[in-house]
Amino acid sequence: MARTATLTFNDRSIQLPVVEGSEGELGLDISKLRSETGLITLDPGYGNTGACTSAITFIDGEKGVLRYRGIPIEELARESTFVEVAWLLIFGRLPQQAELDDFRERLVRNAALHEAFRHHFEGFLVDAPPMAILSAMVNTIACFPRRGTEDESPEERFLEDASQLISKVRTIAACSYRRAMGLPFVYPDSKLPYVANFLHMMFSAPYAEHVASPEVVDALNLILLLHADHEQNCSTSTVRIVGSSQANIYASCAAAVGALWGPLHGGANMAVLEMLEKIHKGGISAADAIKMAKDSSSGFRLMGFGHRVYKNFDPRAKILKQAADKVLGQLGVKDPLLDVARQLEEMALKDSYFVDRRLYPNVDFYSGIIMRAIGIPTNMFTVIFAIGRMPGWIAQWKEQADDPKARIARPRQIYTGPTEKRYVPIDQR
Ligand code: SDX
């Protein structure tokens, strides 16, 4: 028996269908609302609005649950790798060995950039923001021919596009770092797996290959895996909106890079480190930071805290907090910012302002500590987030592209501007 909700307005009632998801989530289907009542809904920030149905990622914000294609993030963090999770998100199931081997081979084959990219990098000033470079270069990938044949199947074409994006986003990131450091670009090494190859391209000297320790490779694998998808967040919604016009996957993901850059979203991991450093250097005390965060007029927020969906804890933050301890211990790194982070968390979780608003550490609160310990510069933190999120963007773009009922995104508005008036010639104003 289909469930419905009754809406009564102006002495008229209509029945609106209620959609139920596989985890019991309920949504009011308002597709017919305007045609039957003339009403639209208004929900700034879409906090109460579902833009789509999706089978990729499930989050229960009350219980701190995160699953990729049904598999809990804790199990994937313990058992899987970023490349395998990328395949899982995109194709909806864990790969067979042959499928994973083929995917890895495509990532190796697609790692290098066309030599003409060199001129694009040289066109940027050395202090150009890496996220600006990344967004431009992701779009530019589509300007170059890729392996493929005219009669290739749509599935083959998509798999090559996905492999190009996942592989090249890492090469572009490394090149932007090398350019900023005034170092020569390092070509990908086809013998190295995904993460080790990235670290090689980032840190190898011209005649001394950088061999990352297993602990560092594991730590970065974990960070990328934990960032791989997160349902309809700001940047993923951007991919869907851009992709809904049938723009290609490169343009859609390049737009998502721009959305992720914002300090309220993926840019928070950099802002967390800047905040921790400011406290550590004595610019402000932890108590000052808490006080300012509670004062809405200060414009200051406790970066890395709060979340639109998680209202108890972000399971990724729990995993990263434990990993921070382990990685710094393995690397013999003593980072005073970790102590500052812990102090801040402890103070906030005892303060009614944060408890009442259900503000807890999110994925960005501890990730920067680990990235810093493995040698990633702060201004590359959000770029690392983008590398991790690329498979999620691709999976969500494909899910929408494969949906025969998908329509171009075109939200409505409630107009609050001036009512009709006449044009006044400039000499009469
Ligand atoms: C990510 O959506 C995703 O899934 C994102 C992400 C992903 O994987 O894609 O999880 C990644 O973006 C994590 C979030 C990273 N951003 C930050 O850490 C920046 C700091 N956090 C906030 O700006 C904020 O918490 C957001 C942006 C994360 C959520 O914003 P909301 O849901 O719009 O919440 P809100 O601004 O309406 O806040 C509700 C109340 C307000 O106070 P009141 O008006 O009720 O008095 O809580 C306050 C806010 O002022 N508040 C904070 C705060 N976050 C919310 N106060 C101080 N410090 C904070 N961090």
- Could you tell me the pTM of the whole model? 0.96
| Dihedral of alpha carbons 397, 401, 402, 407, sign | positive
pLDDT band at 161 (very low <50, low <70, confident <90, very high): very high
Atom of ligand 1 nearest to the CA of 233: 2
CB 188 within 8 A of CB 195: no
Q: Indicate the pairing of strand 12-20 with strand 65-68.
A: unpaired
Return d(Cα 78, Cα 315) in angstroms, integer. 13
CB 170 within 8 A of CB 177: no
Do the two domains 4-50 and 71-266+379-400 of this chain adopt the same fold?
Answer: no
Average pLDDT of span 292-300: 93
For residue 264, give every residue at least 6 positions away whose Cβ sits within 8 Å of its Cβ, in sequence order, or none.
234
Average pLDDT of span 366-379: 94
Is the minimum distance from the CB of 302 to ligand 1 under 6 angstroms? yes
Is the minimum distance from the CB of 348 to ligand 1 under 6 angstroms? no
Tens digits of residue pLDDT in 165-193 = 999 999 999 999 999 999 999 999 999 99
Residue 231: the pLDDT is 98
Return d(Cα 186, Cα 112) in angstroms, integer. 10
Tens digits of residue pLDDT in 82-136 = 999 999 999 999 999 999 999 999 999 999 999 999 999 999 999 999 999 999 9
**How many angstroms does the Cα of residue 44 sit away from the middle of ligand 1?**
14
Could you tell me what percent of the chain has a pLDDT over 70?
A: 100
CB 400 within 8 A of CB 240: yes
Pocket test for ligand 1, best of 308, 311, 313, 352 (most atoms within 8 A of CB): 308
As a dihedral over the C-alpha atoms of residue 376, residue 379, residue 380, residue 381, rounded to 10 degrees, the angle is 80
Return d(Cα 10, Cα 55) in angstroms, integer. 38
Average pLDDT of span 209-222: 92
Nearest residue to 39 (alpha-carbon basis) of 17, 9, 16: 9
Average pLDDT of span 248-253: 98
Pocket test for ligand 1, best of 362, 363, 367, 387 (most atoms within 8 A of CB): 362
Residue 264: the pLDDT is 95
Residue corresponding to tokens 């040698």: 375
Tens digits of residue pLDDT in 141-157 = 999 987 777 788 999 99
Average pLDDT of span 390-402: 98
Residue 30, token pair as written in the block = 């308002």
Query: Worst-scoring range by mean pLDDT, 92-96, 228-232, 282-286?
Result: 282-286
Q: Spelled out in words, what is the top-level CATH class assigned to the domain 268-374? A: mainly alpha
For residue 119, give every residue at least 6 positions away whose Cβ sits within 8 Å of its Cβ, in sequence order, or none.
none
- String of b and e for 216-254 (b: at least 16 CB within 10 Å)? bbbbbbbbbbbbbbbbbbbbbbbbbbbbbeeeebbbbbb
Tens digits of residue pLDDT in 65-76 = 999 999 999 999
Domain residue extents for the chain: 4-50, 71-266+379-400, 268-374
Residue 35 vs residues 44, 279, 408: alpha-carbon distances, Å: 22, 55, 18
Return d(Cα 383, Cα 390) in angstroms, integer. 11
Return d(Cα 206, Cα 53) in angstroms, integer. 49
For residue 252, give every residue at least 6 positions away whose Cβ sits within 8 Å of its Cβ, in sequence order, or none.
238, 239, 242, 243, 393, 397
Sequence letter at residue 314: D
Q: Is the pLDDT of residue 385 over 90?
A: yes
Q: Is the pLDDT of residue 266 over 80?
A: yes
Average pLDDT of span 403-415: 97
pLDDT band at 31 (very low <50, low <70, confident <90, very high): very high
Q: Is the pLDDT of residue 207 over 90?
A: no
pLDDT band at 1 (very low <50, low <70, confident <90, very high): confident
**How many angstroms does the Cα of residue 426 sit away from the middle of ligand 1?**
46
Average pLDDT of span 197-211: 89
CB 244 within 8 A of CB 232: no
Is the minimum distance from the CB of 103 to ligand 1 under 6 angstroms? no
Give me the phi and psi of 97, to 5 degrees please: -55, -45
DSSP string over 356-415: HTT--B-HHHHHHHHHHHTT--GGGHHHHHHHHHHHHHHHHHHHHHT-TT----------
**161, 218, 314, 364: which one is catalytic?**
364
Tens digits of residue pLDDT in 352-367 = 999 999 999 999 999 9
Residue 193 vs residues 161, 167, 190, 383, 398: alpha-carbon distances, Å: 19, 11, 8, 19, 25
CATH superfamily of 71-266+379-400: Citrate Synthase, domain 1 (1.10.580.10)
Residue ID of nearest Cα to ligand 1 atom 48: 357
Is 307 a catalytic site residue? Answer: yes
CATH architecture of 4-50: Single Sheet (2.20)
Return d(Cα 327, Cα 369) in angstroms, integer. 10
Residue corresponding to tokens 């944060």: 354
**How many angstroms does the Cα of residue 22 sit away from the middle of ligand 1?**
27
